[in-house]
Amino acid sequence: MEHYSMSEPESVDMLIARFLGGTATSDECRQLENWLAENDENLRYFKESKALWDSALHPNLDVEKSFDAALKQINPKPARRKILPLLQRIAAVLFIPLLLGSMFLLFQTRQHSESANNWIQTTSAFGAMSQLQLPDGSKVWLNAGSTISYPEKFDAGERIVKLNGEAYFEVSADVKKPFTVQTRHFDVTATGTRFNVMAYKELATNFVTLAEGKVTVSTARGKSEYPLKPNQNLRFDVLNGHTSLEETDAYKFFAWKDGKIIFRNDRLSDIANRLSYQYNAEIEIAGDIKDLRFRATFENETLSEVLALLKLASPFVYEEQAPQYQDDGTFTKRKIIIKPASNQKQNKR
């Protein structure tokens, strides 16, 4: 009889697959029984696989019925049950439910699956920025607190990536193979261009800004499309689906990749959103000052320095709350509350 060990996982999985598919011979069934009784490592392997299988595909599987069905398949003679060693019977109870998924586990647990083309996920921590190159040579700058997912190899005819957060793209030109950035609320499609996407799922307003070339933004599963030209910015309100297109200095939207923060007549509400992700802080605006506008450029300043400088240009005050310790052993984010300055006239310029 051929011996199967844990050093030959594919042979074992193929044997299991034949058993479940009803094509295993009586000799193969005996091989399977013997392999389970061989050592505790084999039993542990099936226990771990069972946990994965139960949680993934069959959360309500009846183990006892699976055991009885398996015994009948291994040997339909009733007398067979009497000579099965106790350890083998226990092992059978554990592994029968998951064997149906053995091939699933073999291929699905390796970076998703072959059908998903081995998707890769990259996350840039808060307070940091990452730079990466995609399989087609396109370059991506990933801003703080952002995550991008992309396949190890793009499929024929399309290039798709998924984004939560903010990223600046320099896309390699290929008119036959469009490049699409999928976000929670819209898709951005290009063939070769430079553009910025700000689409943090926690924010009520997302932006798409074009620096060079052409892109098309599709919302509500393609029901509305907005072609952008260079130095245009699309503002998308995720709460009501409203969009607005404006001419702008595109660079201010992706200056973060060069370590700069640029505001050009920007609302305080948008500034608060930008600063909250750049500095990993929770920024709250109290009172009717969200539409105050500012013009400034910052490079390498701390959050306290940025707020102090902005405060000089308009009548507001702010207070800072230190991070609080939580029951789970972590700390809350640093919190900033911006308020109207008392006894001063608000300047909405």
pLDDT digits (tens, 9 = 90+) for 140-165: 999 999 999 999 999 888 999 999 99
- Which residue reads 């490079």 in tokens? 299
Average pLDDT over residues 122-148: 92
Q: What is the pLDDT of residues 230-270, one digit of tens each?
A: 999 999 998 888 999 999 999 999 999 999 999 998 999 99
Q: Is the pLDDT of residue 329 over 80?
A: no
CB 161, CB 180: distance < 8 Å: yes
Cα gap 262→246, rounded to integer Å:
17
pLDDT at residue 97, as a whole number? 41
β partners of residue 189: 180, 216
Paired residues of 122 in beta bridges = 148
- Residue 341: the pLDDT is 85
| CATH class label, 115-256 | mainly beta
Closest C-alpha among 86, 94, 124 to residue 278: 124
Residue 167's contacts (CB-CB under 8 Å, 6 or more residues apart) are: 140, 141, 142, 143, 146, 148, 181, 196, 197
Mean pLDDT, all residues of the chain? 76
Q: Give tens-digit pLDDT for 288-314.
A: 899 999 999 999 899 999 999 999 888
Model confidence band, residue 9 (pLDDT cutoffs 50, 70, 90)? low
Residue 10 scores a pLDDT above 70: no
Beta bridge partners of residue 10, listed in sequence order? none
What's the pLDDT at 38?
74
The pLDDT score that the predictor gives to residue 113 is 39
Q: What is the rounded CA–CA span in Å between residue 104 and residue 118?
A: 15
Give the pLDDT score at 123.
93
Residue 21 scores a pLDDT above 80: no
Higher pLDDT, 25 or 279: 279
- Cβ–Cβ < 8 Å for 280, 144: yes
- Residue 57 scores a pLDDT above 80: no
Average pLDDT over residues 50-77: 46
pLDDT of residue 307: 93
Confidence of residue 126 (pLDDT cuts 50, 70, 90): confident
> Per residue in 204-230, pLDDT tens?
899 999 999 999 999 876 678 999 999
> Looking at the whole model, is its pTM more than 0.75?
no
**98 pLDDT above the threshold of 50:** no
| Residue spans per domain, the chain | 9-108, 115-256, 259-349
Alpha helices in the chain (DSSP H): 9-20, 26-38, 40-56, 63-74, 79-83, 86-99, 102-108, 251-254, 268-278, 303-313
pLDDT at 193 over 90: yes
CATH class of 259-349: alpha beta
Q: Pick the residue with more confidence: 93 or 140?
A: 140
3-state secondary structure of 329: coil
